[in-house]
Each structure stands twice: as structure tokens, then as C-alpha cells.
Chains A and B, each alone.
Chain A
Amino acid sequence: MTGLFSPSTQPPLTSRSGLLKATRSALFRTLFAAPGFILLAIMSLYPMVLLVQMSVSDVTIRNILGTWQFVGALNFITVMSSLTFQAVVVQTLLFVMLVLVATMLAGLIVAVLLRPSGGFSLVTQTTLILVWTLPPVIVGALWKFLFASDGAVNQFLLFTGVSESTIPFLSQPSTALVAIASVAVWIGVPFAGLVLKSAILDVPEEVLDAARVDGATSQQVLMRIVIPMIRPTLLILGVLIVVGAFKAFDLIYTMTRGGPGTSSTTIPYLGYTTAFETYQFGQAGAISVVAMAIVVSLAIGYIFAVRQEQR
């Protein structure tokens, strides 16, 4: 068995120097891995244990730093039966699906468009990546300005006649979540496009040529050859986009604070506001345990997707 703390190349353990070498190697690995493990144990793993404990305890602002009374599934029952939580689950699904589908489609278009390496393509690509590196808090402020009732987006819609009156994108429940999702797509497309572009460039040119010689249209080449060949990348990218959308906090906080009401709140965001705004830490724990269950299933899906690509 070659584990993390045992040497990968087995020296002869019978000789004394071999044993010494193996012990040294194990010591080296332990010392090298220890600082990272300690940081994760204190700041990531132990907090997850605490979170589970919090979800089955009566915890509010009064006793968050004190002792916790066990209350069984009470927090879960309270949370699950609340209309807000039910609406938030639906909103989370809607938000994640919107971001996934739009980012994938737009990413594919961008990848195909930027595939020919010309000067203008490069300028466009660089601009896109620059946007991807901007802090979300800045992108959020930027789009809050553009989405304002008297902002540029409304001006454009009025001017082109798409809309006849101004739309308060971020301050009405019916549009707030979709507006945030569209900004999440705007930030996500550069990354998706770049990843898909490099996957498409890996498709052998001869395969494409052979298809064209056989009379395939460029649409057929894309749908029947390119997409099946980059399927593993699509799968991995898909999981990454879903995770990114699920984790989204900064954009929601910056643009709407989850409102109006809770109309643009997602599950992890609701966990946060329940803890730090209404101070119901027990219920926040229950909401966050639900969020973690989703995370773990996404992680398992991701690991399978990666395995499949490596095969």
C-alpha cells in the first residue's frame, strides 16, 4: 500500500539504511503536508463539524459563543416549512440553470468566433479576460450603474424601441434575479470561451478536413464532430459553472442584497443572512447543511467527470 505518508518507491526495508531512508521520507512528507493540513483542519474541516452541530442546536446571537442546547431536527423542520426557503430553493435552481445554459451557449459561440487567430480576435479575447479578472464587487457596482432606471441599458432599450417604459431591473422582484444572472454570465463567458476554444483547437485538423471533404456543412461539423469530441471538457466546465453560480455571493450582495424582499436570494446567501442579519444561527446551520449536501453531490459529479476525461 502506497499512501500519503509512506514512500512511493519502496526501498529494501531489511537493511538498516533502507529503513532509515524510508523513515526520513515519511518524515519529510509529514512535515511538508502538515502546515496545510493544520490550516484546513482548524479553518475548514472543524468548522464543518461545528456547522452540523449548529444545525441541530438552538443557537442565536446570545449563545453563539457559549454552549448549545440540542434540539434535534427542529431547525430543519422550521426551515423546510418556511415559504421563504421554498421560494429560495426554486430561485436557486432557476439562477443556476439560467447561468449554466447561457454561459455554455455563449461560451461555445465565443470559442468558435475567437478560434481564428487574428489581431482583432486577440484584442477581443484580451478585453474579455480583463473583465474576468475584475473583482465582482467592482463589476457589481458597474452593472448597478448600467441597470439603473435612468441607466444606459434602459436608454438603449427605449432608443431601439424594445421597451416602451423604463424597467427597474434591480428593484422589482420579477427581474432582479435574472439581471444578476445575466451579469454572472457576462463574467463567466470569457473563462468558458477560453476553455472551450483550447478544447476545440485540440480536435485534429485532419478529422475536420475529412468531414468537409465528405460534404459536411460547418454546422454539421460542429454538432456531429466537434461537440462529441469535446464532451468531457463540456462536462467539467458545466460542473464548474454550476458550482460558480451556486457559490455566487459577491454579485448578489453588491447588486441587490438578495432583494427586493428575498426575490434574488439563493440558498447559501439565505444561510448567510439568516446567520449575520437575523442572527438565527441554528436555522442558518440547517440551511447551510442543505447547501453542503448539494456541494458534496456536485463534487462527486465533478470527480466522475474528470475520471471520464482521463479515461
Chain B
Amino acid sequence: MTNNSGGRLLSTLAVSGLFALYAVPILLVILASFKTNAEIVNNPSSLVFTPTFDAYRTVFNEDFLQALFNSLILATGSTLLTLAVGVPLAYVLARSPGAWGSIVIAVLIALQMTPAATAVIPQFRVLAALGQLGTYTGVILAMSAAALPYAVLILRPFYLSIPPEVEEAAQVDGASRLRTFVSIVLPLVRNGISLIGVLLFIGAWGEFLYPISFLNDQSQFPLSVLILQQQGFYGTQWNNLMALAILGAIPTIIIFTLVARRLTSGLALGAGK
């Protein structure tokens, strides 16, 4: 009895420690964004101070809005392109149990494991040949190609979970393959598509390697690159950098709170299979 309640106390303490390990760093960053830099230099972890919006006022300028807009274009564009080509490809692969299907899946697994830092080196020449260096199209093509294997591998199990009889029944009724897909199959994998859509968007939102490798013009860079540059510009102006990081994280946090529960169960499902 005493052993049991002692164990419970211990595990509550351990969970609290775990919570602190994740919550305290986030809290310190949020607090830092409301301090003046003098206060941070004096004591970066102080809890008592006069909050100020100075840092937010400094970073919330025209450059920020331009970068925010660029991030939206790149993240939305690459998410939509990946879904547009990935949703049908995953369906074909789910309905291809033979050797070809297995080979394609093996290639997709290898591609998913390819470091982006490796892929961008030869892509530089390919995009130059296509005349797409320095364009959003080029960056979106590269980002979508990088995300496609991941999207297909996560989507395929959702198609596999549909019993074949459902589609066969529709085809007996004379519906074409395309109509069967659009009106019967797609609604059944809606959850999978929205899950992967969210994951793709969150991933694309933080992406900076492709933009810094393929874009030149300052006015084209997304928010992630702006955050990188501000580290240099502001030096140790931590309050400004933290305010910018928080503003940059807001879109992903909003999406996260909208889908948190489904994301959590979907992740566990996708990873286990």
C-alpha cells in the first residue's frame, strides 16, 4: 500500500519533470520576447520585469509581412502540388500488390531517406536547365519532390484499409474507375488526406534549405530565412529574435490546436504500420 502510493508520487514527480523539460524553455522564450534586451543581458531567466511590446514592434515591419506572404505561397503551393500528384499515386500503389508496386515503394523509401542537403546539389543544375532558378516554381517543385515519397507512404495504408468489395460493387453498377475513385474512394480517405496535408504544410512552413539554395532576391525569402538572417542582423538582440520566432511559429501552432487530437492518434497509427 505505502509502496503503491510512493510509486504514484514518484511517477507524478517524473511526469512533472518531463513537463518542465518542455514547458520551461518555451516559457523562457515567451518571456524574453516581452523584455528589453538590457533586461535579458542582466538576467535571461528573470520572472519579474515590466513587460513591453518593443520587440514585437521592432520585428513587425514590412519585411516581416513580405516574408510571411512568401512563406504562405511556398507552403501552400508545395502542399497542394504534393497532394495533387501524391493522392492518385498512392491509390495506384495501394492497388498494385505485385513486384512493380514493391519496387516503387522501395525506391520511395530510399528517396524519403535522402538528405535534402544532398538532393539540392544536383537539383541546382536541373532547375537551371528548366529556367527555374530564382523562381517560386523551382522551389515548389523541389520541395514537393522531397515531400512526395513521405506523403505517398503515409497515404497508402489509408487506401489499403478500404475493403475491395466497396469499389467492386460500384464498378458492377457500371461506374467508371474515375467516378468510383472520386465519389467513393476519396471520401473514405478524407482523414488521411487532411492528416498528410497538415503535416506537409507544417513541414513546408519551416523549410529554408530550398529557398536559400535556389532563390537570390531578398524580397523572395520566406519567414524561416528571415529568422536565420535576423540572428546575424541583431547579433544578440535576443528579445527581437525570440519575438520573431514566436510570430513565425503562430501559424503552425494554430493548425496544431485545430487538429491536435486527430494528429496524435494519426501519427501513432502511421508510424506503427
Contact = CB atoms under 8 A, between A and B. Distances in A.
Interface of A: 1-6, 8, 24-25, 28-29, 32-33, 35-37, 39-40, 42-48, 50-51, 54, 64-65, 109-110, 113-114, 116, 120-121, 123-131, 133-138, 141-146, 148, 150-152, 155-156, 186, 190-191, 194-195, 197-199, 233, 236-237, 240, 243, 246-247, 249-250, 253-254, 268-269, 271-272, 275-276, 281, 284-285, 288, 291-292, 295-296, 298-299, 302-303
B154 interface: no
Q: Which 7 A-B pairs have the closest CB atoms?
A: A135-B206, A36-B89, A43-B145, A4-B100, A268-B115, A47-B122, A198-B268
29 contacts: A2-B98, A8-B96, A24-B177, A33-B88, A36-B86, A39-B81, A39-B145, A40-B111, A40-B145, A42-B145, A124-B22, A130-B253, A133-B253, A137-B206, A137-B248, A138-B227, A141-B227, A142-B29, A142-B242, A142-B245, A146-B28, A152-B25, A198-B272, A199-B272, A246-B115, A271-B115, A271-B121, A275-B121, A291-B118
Interface residues of B, number: 97
A66 B163 CA distance: 53
A39 B100 contact: no
Interface of B: 11-12, 14-16, 18-19, 21-23, 25-26, 28-29, 32, 41, 43-45, 81, 84-86, 88-89, 91-93, 95-101, 104, 106-107, 109-111, 113-126, 128-130, 141-142, 144-146, 148-149, 152, 177-178, 181, 202, 205-206, 208-209, 213, 224, 227-228, 231, 236, 238, 241-242, 245, 248-249, 252-253, 256, 260, 263-264, 267-269, 271-272
Contacts of A3: 96, 98-101
Contact of A33 (B89, B206, B209, B267): B89
Contact of B45 (A155, A233, A240, A276): A155
A271 B114 CA distance: 13
Interface centre among A109, A123, A133 (most CB of B within 10 A): A133
A199 to B, nearest CB: 6
Contacts of B92: 4, 29, 32-33
A143 B208 contact: no
